[in-house]
Structure formats: structure tokens, C-alpha cells
Structure 1
Amino acid sequence: MIQTWNERAHAALKGKTGMLLAWSFACALIVEVGAVIDPTLYGTEMGTSFEKGFVLLISGILSFMLYPVIIGYYWVLLETVREKDIQFTDLFLPMRRRYDKHVAATILLTVLQLLWTLLFLVPGIVKYFSYAFTYFILHDEPELSVRAAITKSRALTRGLKWDAFKLILPVVPVYLIGLTLFFRFDSVLFAALSLLIATALIRPLVVSRFAVMYEDARREYDEQWKSIREPDVAAAHVIQSS
């Protein structure tokens, strides 16, 4: 199954890898635009702790406000796996459709992920895979609330977390290199750039593989749900006819 998912993701990206990589870097730069106002990136020190905290707060708020473009990237990769036409402007669909909902999804997922990671590292990793389908679900079922989408993602990924880990394992070293450089660089600017580049490089591979997994998990889930519902519907018809 892992090999099949890899092959399908690779086939979906064929001929589009360069474009999707460029879009991934564009998304990363858009989301990190808030960091531009942080003078510590350029070796400049702020006067007081309050000023430092204020700048950090504004930077974080801007990142959260712009993060729906990453959700748009998830949607673009899902459409790519489904062999549909995509455009750069599709990245901004979550900003044009229920923007407040998608910002809320970003904040809630970040908080949940952070809390689980602070508890222990392993539960944090497990929850990362549990929430992996949330943005895809928000695309396919926009009527669902954010909490309902997260709950459904947990249901769809049940029993698949180890497979999901093995699926993205080949690209993990790239992220670890970026993370190592992040902690090794004395310059805040170069540290931030190293992690940004690593994340942008692996994003198309990770998201496309998750999209392929989601398609299969969603199909299996719907079939199971249908098999449960059909006897109930048949029984209801019998009761009504009698």
C-alpha cells in the first residue's frame, strides 16, 4: 500500500513538480511576511522587553491571518491528485471563502498540536497524523464546523498513522537538516531561512502523499458508512409500508 501511494503521488506531481515547488516557496514567503517586521532577524535589538513582545505578537497574528494560503496549497494538491486543472489563484480560495473559519482552523490545530507536543513529543507526532486530513475535509465538506472536520480527520486516520509516518519518512531528513541549521545558526535570519527552505521543499511531497491517503481513506469510510446506513433505511421503508 505504501508503495502504491508513493507511485500515485509521484504520478500526480509528474510535469508539475517545479511549479508546485515554486508555489510552496511563495506560500512560505507569504505566511512569513509578518517576520519582516521583526528587527531581530536583521541583528537589531529592540529597546525594551515590551517592545520585543509586541513585535513578536504582531508577527504571530499576521502569520495566522495569512496561513489560509497554506490551506489553499493543500486544496491545490488534492485537486492535482484528482487530475483537475489548478491555477495559482486557487491558493487564495480559503481567503475568499469562509476566511474566518479557516483562520480559526489554523489557530485551533496549532493550539492542539502544541498542547500534545508539550505533553510529550510522541503524542504530538501521533496527533500530527491524526489531524492530517482536516484541511482536505474542509475542502470537500465546507458545511462542517472546524471541530467536526478535526473529528472526522481522526476517524479517517484511525489505523493509518504508522502508514502515514512510513509514507513521509523519506523526506524527514530534509526537514531535520533544516531544523538542525535553525538551532545552529547564530543569525536569526539565516536560522529562519533554513527552516523555511526545508519546509517549502518537502511540502509538495508530504501533502500529495497525504492527499492520496485521504482519497483511499475517504472512499473506505464512505463505503463502511453506506453499508451501515442501508439496513437502517431498508428497515425504515418496511415500517412505513406496514
Structure 2
Amino acid sequence: MVHTWNERAHTALKGKTGMLLIWSFACSVLLEIGLMVDTTYYGLAIESVALTVLSLGGILFYIALYPVIVGYNWLILETVRGQTVRLSDVFAPFRHRYGKHLLATLLVMLFQVLWTLLLVVPGIVKYFSYAFTYFILRDEPELSALEAITKSRNLMDGRKWDAFKLILPMIPMFLIGLTLYIQLDLPILASWSLLLATALIRPLVVSRFAVLYEEARQEYDEQWNRSA
């Protein structure tokens, strides 16, 4: 089954991988702009009120831009569904219900961080539990952020191991970027190493989650119709 899902994801991205990689890198750079404004992120000491305000502004700017990841998930989902996509589709979450999409990204990040602080393994498990959240926001815009997260957990129930196996080939690339981020003494080079690794694997990971979501959604709808 995992092989079939991989094949479906590969087929959906065929001929579009280069474009999606470029767009993935563009999204990462866009988020990095907010971090670059934060002087503390690159190891620079804050020596004035102005720099403190600048750093705070950078953090807020980074957070405000984070729904671009929601848009990229939507773009990949539409690609898997064989629909025509444009770079402007990435910014759809900014144009419609921006507040809810921003809240969803913040809640997902918060829950993942809290579970990771508790123990690393629960944090990894919750990463998969919340993986469908942005797809659900695309298909069911009437749901709140918390409702989308809850539905993602329900749809992913019993599928987390399959989800892990789907992205297993991409994990070494991410670990290389993470290792460089931790080990390199130059903050800028370290940060961009992780950025590059994340940008390279994002379309591959999200497309596989999208394929898994399509099947989970179909099974959920069939069960709902039978019980109705």
C-alpha cells in the first residue's frame, strides 16, 4: 500500500517537481525574511531599544507570514488532484479567513512543541496526527482551527505508522540540515542549511501526505454515509 501511495505522489508531481521545489524554496525564503529582521536569531546582541523593537517586529512578521505553509499544502493537494496550480494559490490563505489560518498554524506549532517538550516520541507522533489539518481547512472552510486539528487526528488514527513509512526516505536529508544547523558556528550559514533541506523535502513530504489524506477522506466519507 505504501508503495502505491508513493507511486501516486510521484505521478502527480511528474513534470512539476522542479516548479514545486522552486516555490517551496520561495516560501522558505519568505519566512526567513522575518527571521532575518530579528537580530537575535543570527546571534547578534541587542544593544538598544530600537533593536529590541526590530527583533520583536521580525518575530511578529515571521508569524504573520506562516500561513504561506497552509497555501503550499493547498497547492500540493490541488496538484495531487490533477488541478492546474499557480504560485498565487500559495497566498490564498491570506486572502480568505486569514485569522483562522494564522490561528491554525500557531496552534499546530504550539501543540507540537508542547508534546515534544514532554517527550520527543509523543512530539513526533503528534506531528503526524496534525498532518491533515491544512488539507481539511481547504476542503471544509466552515470548520474552526481546533475542529480541523481534531478531524486531522481522527483521520490519521491508525495511519501514523504508514505516514512515517511514506516520508522515511526524506528523513536523512532533514537530519543533515538539522545537524548542520546545530553544528555550524556561523548562524546565517546554519540557518540557511536547514532552510534548504526543508525546502527540498517539503513537496515530497506534503504530496505523500496529500495522497494519504485523499484515501483517508474517502474511507471516512464512506463510513459516514453507511452510518447515516
Identity of aligned residues (%): 61
TM-score, normalised to structure 1, is: 0.90
Q: Secondary structure at the match of 1:85?
A: coil
Q: Secondary structure at the match of 2:142?
A: coil
Output the CA distance in 1 between the equivalents of 2:13 and 2:209: 13
Q: Is residue 2:159 matched to residue 1:170?
A: no
**Residue of structure 2 in register with 1:31 after alignment:** 31
**Residue of structure 2 in register with 1:194 after alignment:** 193
Task: Kindly provide the amino acid, as one letter, of the partner of residue 208 in structure 2.
Answer: R
- Shift, 1:53, TM fit: 5.8
Instruction: Confirm or deny: 8 A CA contact 1:41 1:187 kept in the other structure.
Output: no
Instruction: Confirm or deny: 8 A CA contact 1:68 1:106 kept in the other structure.
Output: yes
Q: Which runs of 5+ in 1 are unaligned?
A: 230-242
Instruction: Confirm or deny: 8 A CA contact 1:131 1:150 kept in the other structure.
Output: yes
Supply the RMSD in Å over aligned alpha carbons: 1.5
Task: Kindly provide the amino acid, as one letter, of the partner of residue 207 in structure 1.
Answer: V
Task: Kindly provide the amino acid, as one letter, of the partner of residue 23 in structure 1.
Answer: W
Q: Secondary structure at the match of 2:83?
A: coil
**Residue of structure 2 in register with 1:235 after alignment:** none
Instruction: Confirm or deny: 8 A CA contact 1:75 1:136 kept in the other structure.
Output: yes
Task: Kindly provide the amino acid, as one letter, of the partner of residue 102 in structure 2.
Answer: V
**Residue of structure 2 in register with 1:77 after alignment:** 76
**Residue of structure 2 in register with 1:206 after alignment:** 205
- Shift, 1:56, TM fit: 4.2
- Shift, 1:64, TM fit: 1.2
Output the CA distance in 2 between the equivalents of 1:116 and 1:57: 26
Q: Which runs of 5+ in 2 are unaligned?
A: none
Output the CA distance in 1 between the equivalents of 2:200 and 2:168: 14
Q: Is residue 2:121 matched to residue 1:140?
A: no
1:15-39 CA-partner distances (Å, limit 9, x unpaired): 0000000000000011121122133
Output the CA distance in 1 between the equivalents of 2:166 and 2:89: 26
Instruction: Confirm or deny: 8 A CA contact 1:40 1:188 kept in the other structure.
Output: no
- Shift, 1:44, TM fit: 4.3
TM-score, normalised to structure 2, is: 0.96
1:199-235 CA-partner distances (Å, limit 9, x unpaired): 0000000000000000000000010111111xxxxxx
Output the CA distance in 2 between the equivalents of 1:38 and 1:127: 29
Task: Kindly provide the amino acid, as one letter, of the partner of residue 16 in structure 1.
Answer: K
Aligned counterparts, 1:1-242, within 5 A? 1-40=1-40, 44-47=44-47, 54-229=53-228
- Shift, 1:41, TM fit: 6.2
Q: Secondary structure at the match of 1:39?
A: coil
- Shift, 1:7, TM fit: 0.2
Task: Kindly provide the amino acid, as one letter, of the partner of residue 137 in structure 1.
Answer: I
Task: Kindly provide the amino acid, as one letter, of the partner of residue 81 in structure 2.
Answer: R
Instruction: Confirm or deny: 8 A CA contact 1:116 1:127 kept in the other structure.
Output: yes
Count of equivalent residues: 228
- Structure 1 residues 131 and 15: alpha-carbon distance in aligned structure 2, compared to 1, 3 A threshold: same
Please tell me whether Structure 1 or Structure 2 has the larger radius of gyration of its CA atoms. 1
Task: Kindly provide the amino acid, as one letter, of the partner of residue 179 in structure 1.
Answer: L
- Shift, 1:63, TM fit: 1.2
